[in-house]
Structure 1
Amino acid sequence: MKKVCMSACAAAVVLLAAACGSEPGWQLVWEEEFEGGTLDEAVWSRIPRGKPDWQNTQSADDRCYALRDGMLVLRGIVNDDRTADTAAYLTGGVWTRGKHAFEGGRIEVRARLHGARGAWPAIWLLPFETEKYMWPQGGEIDIMERLNHDSIAYQTVHSHYTYTLGIENDPRHGSTMAIDPDAFNVYGVDLWPDSVVFRINGRRHFAYPRIETDREGQFPFDIPQYLLIDMQLGGQWVGRVDPAELPVEMEVDWVRHYRWQ
């Protein structure tokens, strides 16, 4: 699909945007096709190990990363040397933290998620100004999370309002939508000053609006964001990992950023 789309759109950026899934009125302003032999280090970094569930298996191990056939491949593997690294599993993830910001517009990522028990791939956004916004004050936008072998994806926002104050349904802060679990799907979000609108395969799915409220931190999302794409294994939400189902891969075909014209 990618090569057909690119050949049809090679003449101009506007044609590329129109032919590859954006609606009229949206202009492509940035893209990552993962066509080279190495990851663009001016934009991307490997996510380091951290304490949270989503980060406690992240690794720089080369076996967790590949650039293959114009795609970024992120893997979850069994750690076969726990003397060098005590984590039972190792996972690959990349982010644009400190390097590339997304401010407003539409962000889309085309990816295929291979299933495994305990697999938790995610595509998400956090505030670019990391020192200014401590979680959850600056919010979190989960463009896609998928668990195990599920045929649904979760799309959610988190903030001081939803997490600290616990107000998750006024307005509703997340939903799920069906995906083809064996194919590539396009996961997207539109970032507006008054709403966050989620999409899957070009279809509007769910919107989280700014509302009038005397509670603080309800809509912190109208700020520059950085993008995270990561394979994750295990944790309180997804549950235990079955090592017999590893390695597991997350294939990322492209990332695109559009602005409304």
Structure 2
Amino acid sequence: MKRFALLLAFLALMAACTHRSEPGWKLVWEEEFDGESLDPTIWSRIPRGTADWNNYHSSDDRCFALRDGRLVLRGIVNDDRAADTAAYLTGGVETRGKHAFDGGRIEIRAKLQGARGAWPAFWLMPFDEEHEGWPHCGEIDIMERLNFDTFAYQTTHSYYSSEFGGGLGIKNDPPHGGTGPIDPDAFNVYGVDFWPDSLVFRINGRRTFAYPRIETDREGQFPFCRPWFLMLDMQLGGSWVGKVDPADLPVEMEIDWVRHYQWE
């Protein structure tokens, strides 16, 4: 077990250096979270909504921090139900309407605390999504981790693959998601590469899953060749992750950096 842990730590370290060592990729944008506050021309706090994943999103400052060059997003017990009736409060940020990612490779280095009901996620939605409803517009989940899992989910959604929103629900032709191992006690690097014929997902520099464009007469199989905005959020509770255990809170994730590359 000790050797396995050392191997995971080594792989994570090597993945953190991929922007310097891997040929062919040019760094075109990065966020290092080194300032005293987030750049308001890039980032906004995610507002609360009615969807399963954002029942507890809040602008409460306790859910956000910049610490040692890292963005910290927290899930906490709400101690003032008179001011806000939600049982819990969570923090998330997004580049919606401000900064688009158009192809290339996107990577995020982060450390995730575990908790019962914790559901941290990094995901992409179309920059022009207001012109097209979900799931027709597509969705790319770079990382979702549940509870204390030692692996992360990486998933694509579209009208073709989704069983919700009136979609066709074709999940396995081809498979629309996969998983990859993580070191739950360390920083890991989560990424996706955009190619004209596929999306290729990675964890710590290693390929975990690919979703191909296929020849089909069915609608909406590969709506992924478009600009996207990025969402980073600490989620709590929901039908997929299960109930929250308040004894495990607060829970947080630390995001070291976000990097965007283009293939040269």
- Matching residue of 2:118: 119
- Residue 20 of structure 2 aligns to which amino acid in structure 1? A
Secondary structure at the aligned position of 2:128 is classed as coil
The residue number in structure 2 matching 1:221 is 224
1:76–1:167 distance in 2 versus 1, CA, 3 Å:
same
- 1:55 is matched with 54
Code of the aligned partner of 1:206: F
How far 1:55 moved relative to its partner?
A: 1.0
Structure 1, gaps ≥5 residues long:
6-14
1:130 Cα deviation after fit:
2.1
CA shift, 1:191, in A, is 1.2
For 1:95, give the aligned amino acid.
Answer: E
Whether 2:208 is the aligned partner of 1:205: answer yes
3-state DSSP class of the match of 1:17? helix
Moved over 6 A (4+): none
Aligned-partner Cα distance in 2 for 1:63–1:36: 18
* Partner in structure 1 of residue 28 of structure 2: 29
Identity of aligned pairs, percent?
74
Q: 1:50 corresponds to which letter in structure 2? A: G
Give the CA deviation at 1:104. 0.3
- 1:70 match: 69
TM-score (norm 2): 0.91
Return the alpha-carbon distance in structure 2 between the equivalents of residues 217 and 87 of structure 1. 37
Structure 1 pair 56–78 and aligned structure 2 pair: CA distance change class (3 A): same
Q: How large is the Cα RMSD of the aligned pairs?
A: 1.4
Secondary structure, counterpart of 2:19 in structure 1 = helix
Is the CA contact (8 Å cut-off) linking 2:138 and 2:158 kept in structure 1?
Answer: yes
SS state at 1:54 partner: helix
Deviations 1:116-149 (A, max 9, x none): 0000000000000021121111111000000000
TM-score by length of 1: 0.92
- Contact preservation (8 Å) 2:18, 2:205: no
The separation in 2 between residues aligned to 1:192 and 1:137, in whole angstroms, is 20
Deviation string 1:90-124 (CA, Å, 9 cap, x unpaired) is 00000000000000000000000000000000000
Q: How many residues align?
A: 246
Write the distance in 1 (CA, Å) between the matches of 2:81 and 2:129.
32
Counterpart in 2 of 1:254?
Answer: 257
Contact 1:127–1:133 (8 Å) recurs in 2:
no
CA distance in 2, matches of 1:243, 1:137: 36
